[in-house]
Chain A
Amino acid sequence: MEMIKKIFNKSSLLVPLVSILLGLLVGALAMLAGGYDPLLAYGSLFKRVFGSSYHMGETIRAITPLIFTGLAVAFAFRTGLFNIGVEGQFIMGMTGATLIGVLLDLPWYLHGPLAILTGALFGGLWAGLVGYLKAKRGVNEVISSIMLNWTALYLANYIVTKFLLEPGQQKSRNVHESALMSIDWLVQLMDKARMHWGTFVALACVLVFYILLWRTKQGYELRAVGHNPDAALYAGMNVNRTIVKSMFISGVFAGLGGVFEILGVFGNQTVLAASVGYGFDGIAVALLGGNTPIGVLLGAVLFGGLSYGSNGMSFGAGVPSEIVRIVIGSVIFFVAAHGIVKFILKPLKLKRSDKSKEAA
């Protein structure tokens, strides 16, 4: 646990940048070993991402949920909690939104907001449960949240099949038009890419994350508990309640991610054979971003961009898209093992300071 904490807290700009380069390099080596042309592959990856307005829009769509889940992981981490249950909270968010979106029929100015709130609440409560178990019963949050991930998956499938199923299909009925969150003019503008309000909410959440943690007294408490629960107790804070709060807020971020996948992208909820994976990717994104809000945003852009572009890679250069997983994996590895990067940077730095000495 200590290890993980140390890895998570390192943040500076140089290290991630060099890590990205090194990651791309490792990917290139892997491609060479497999007999592929890395330049062509990376070329087609970038072409895919930036090549057309449709693909650019879709890249943004792929990035959006990662911002939410990255923020969720990072937020909990700032309070000293390892929320590995973002996955489950994301699914609960989806389910909450689908329930309201399918079952109710309301005017748009009520329906959308209600669906969003319900999903966010579902995510928040699902995570809050983990916080409660930890605060009141001392259950390690990692264990309980892994269990709740599975529970969420089956619960969501049960709800969809039992109450919302589109006859003859493995998915729910469509969400009513009034609850949908896509931005029609932008969809048109971006050549039918699925653009939705979730992206803007995600950006707002980046801001909320920052303000909440660093500008408010609530955030002061959350951070104090994260750094030193004993001192927090001494300072008259309610440590247990703060843990529950932190998990709840983290879960709200995760839940919102799920909400907009339903209301903004798909319009219905499929019966999931396996977890959606956004939650786990969120851990990677938070790691990449050093648990800072801006870092998470950039990490999500990188992660989402690479993943989306990887399809182009297999298309343009015949490289299996799994190679991109190697790239992402090694970028994370280098960020985490920042010692290695610093080691590589060291001779460069020394040379530079020698030069400045000579100049002086």
Chain B
Amino acid sequence: MNQNETVVQLKGITKRFPGLVANDSIDFELKKGQIHALLGENGAGKSTLMNILFGLYQPDEGEIWINGKQTVISGASKAIELGIGMVHQHFKLVQPFTVAENIVLGEEPQKGLTIDYKLANRKVKEISEQYGLKVDPQVRIQDITVGMQQRVEILKTLYRGADIVIFDEPTAVLTVQEIEELLEIIRGLAAEGKSIIIITHKLKEVMALADAVTVIRRGKVVATVDDMADATEEKLAGLMVGRDVSFKVEKQQSNPGDVVLDVRDLTMNGDQGKKVLNGMTFQIRAGEILGIAGVDGNGQSELIYGITGMRKTHGGTVTLNGNDITHLTPREISKSGVGHIPEDRHKHGLVLDFSLSENMILGTYFDERYGRHGFLDFKMMDKTAQELVTEFDVRSSGISTHARALSGGNQQKAIIARELHKNPDLLIAVQPTRGLDIGAIEFVHKRLVEARNQGKAILLISFELDELYALSDRIAVMFEGRLTGEVDAHERDDAKLGLLMTGSGKREG
């Protein structure tokens, strides 16, 4: 990694969107074989900068130099030609196609007039082995995990000959185990001479991985760290946010009140007749945060769909404040006092083509407050939206901006603001801080604890153990559609938790 050849140099890149400057005269330099982390708050302009480098946006000012030559990157195909690849946060794969078909899509090896799938399979296998990706070229995308899909995206860039690979928040969607493996893969790529840019909000990953760090705040570069010996997590956090950040959540002993949510023997049948929920039983009291730990795909999503009425359950009961809500409609359940920060903000949380202020009333638009006689009261909508945006520091060029134009983290903040504003008795929070910067995580954690102190019941599902331990008053472990046990939320024991999460621990208590 001591080659000093510069492969990417950005000089004075400026990109304006209506009403804001997303990139303000940014200088950036990537060396060959380097792993360069791009850090910054939500909406700082990281994705925008990378989209410019990948040819998806054109800069308003500035120069791009690739391998010592000034270039105009007019589109993604030009970027690929220049050896630049990008792994987006939201994958762009064709579900029913196989891994190999996805990878060669658009650049299929030909045999006469037909596509040579044998050759495609072989080539994909070769590259996969070379970089230790362990992907089977012949399985279908719809049958593999998110982590594997991401590897397919990586393979795709490599197949197209990328020497510079950009990762935009690659670990946000991965499980702990998958993250470890990904970091290993990225190290391997760099060792093979690939140059890497990675955007992430997780400072641990930066410390573990990066050779250099560039920190962006409000569109400007505020620091470039070339020698990681100088860096600490606290220092980087301070640079990002511009103030000290505390990593610890201040929280008093909980003071649980009456039972708010009572789930008994809840079952749900999956598509293949298998039970995706298999007798879930638990309670949450007012003023209490119940964390649910578990490997993704063990029925967590289904549990939430079941409680909120978005999917039919096939047995058992859900009781809220003593009222049976098992078979009510999503609206009735929401109205009876349930707030829900959904797992997938693009699928459920937002209508991306709606304005921010339209999105802020997504679950409450029918309320009299937002207009009588079937009409919408835009003044009231805008007022609410403006208040929430200010209170939760959702950064955008205004409340009439489409949600699509918000940065990922700001989209998430908008959803959290909306759901807390409903003032629900039960708040369901699934991965509430996914994609948030550390400042915002601190803020959201504070608000969740505050809500709990005000006597709300909170159901927290998170794949991040740090978050679970920081927030929960009790932690239950979910495996194959049921709870396999509870662990002490105050004394962290990862080994025991790990056993329960894989189903090998015995049921207790």
Contact = CB atoms under 8 A, between A and B. Distances in A.
B329 interface: yes
Contacts of B21: none
B351 A236 contact: no
Interface in B324-342: 329-335, 340, 342
Contacts of B334: 236
B376 A236 contact: no
B310 interface: yes
Interface in B315-374: 329-335, 340, 342, 347-354, 358, 362-363, 365-366, 370-371, 374
Contact of B354 (A217, A227, A237): A227
Contacts of A221: 365
A223 B333 CA distance: 23
A157 B261 CA distance: 61
Contact of B375 (A217, A234, A235): A217
Contact of B348 (A215, A218, A230): A230
Interface residues of B, number: 29
Contact of B329 (A224, A227, A228, A236): A236
Contacts of B308: 234
B437 to A, nearest CB: 24
A220 interface: yes
Interface string A177-220: 00000000000000000000000000000000000000111101
A233 B308 CA distance: 10
Contacts of B331: 236-237
A238 interface: yes
Contacts of B329: 236, 238
Contacts of A39: none
Contacts of B353: 227-228
Contacts of B371: 217
Interface in B355-400: 358, 362-363, 365-366, 370-371, 374-376
A143 interface: no
A235 B376 contact: no
A295 B66 CA distance: 45
A287 B267 CA distance: 47
A232 B331 CA distance: 11
Contact of A228 (B332, B352, B365, B370): B352
B232 to A, nearest CB: 40
Contact of A234 (B342, B374, B376): B342
A220 B348 contact: no
B307 to A, nearest CB: 13
Contacts of A233: 310, 330, 348
Given A234-B330, A236-B363, A220 B349 contact: no
A21 interface: no
A217 B375 CA distance: 6
Given A224-B354, A236-B330, A236-B363, A231 B348 contact: yes
B374 A217 contact: yes
A234 B352 contact: no
A231 B362 contact: yes
Interface string A234-247: 11111000000000
B365 A234 contact: no
Interface centre among A218, A230, A235 (most CB of B within 10 A): A235
Interface in B287-331: 308, 310, 329-331
Given A228-B351, A230-B348, A220 B340 contact: no
A216 B358 CA distance: 12
Contact of A227 (B310, B332, B340, B352): B352
Given A216-B374, A217-B376, A220-B376, A234 B354 contact: no
Contacts of B362: 224, 231, 234-235
A280 to B, nearest CB: 27
A215 B340 contact: no
A235 B363 contact: yes
Contact of A224 (B342, B349, B351): B351
B351 A216 contact: no
Contacts of A216: 374-376
Contacts of A227: 351-354
Interface in A296-330: none
Nearest to B350: A231
A165 B365 CA distance: 52
A235 B365 contact: yes
Contacts of B349: 231, 234
Contacts of A234: 308, 310, 330, 340, 342, 348-349, 362-363
Nearest to B372: A217
Interface of B: 308, 310, 329-335, 340, 342, 347-354, 358, 362-363, 365-366, 370-371, 374-376
Interface of A: 215-218, 220-221, 223-224, 227-228, 230-238
29 contacts: A216-B374, A217-B365, A217-B366, A217-B370, A217-B371, A217-B374, A217-B375, A220-B358, A224-B351, A224-B362, A227-B352, A228-B350, A228-B351, A228-B352, A228-B353, A230-B347, A231-B347, A231-B349, A231-B351, A231-B362, A233-B310, A234-B308, A234-B349, A235-B330, A236-B331, A236-B332, A236-B333, A236-B335, A237-B331
The 4 closest A-B pairs by CB, nearest first: A236-B331, A234-B348, A236-B330, A235-B362
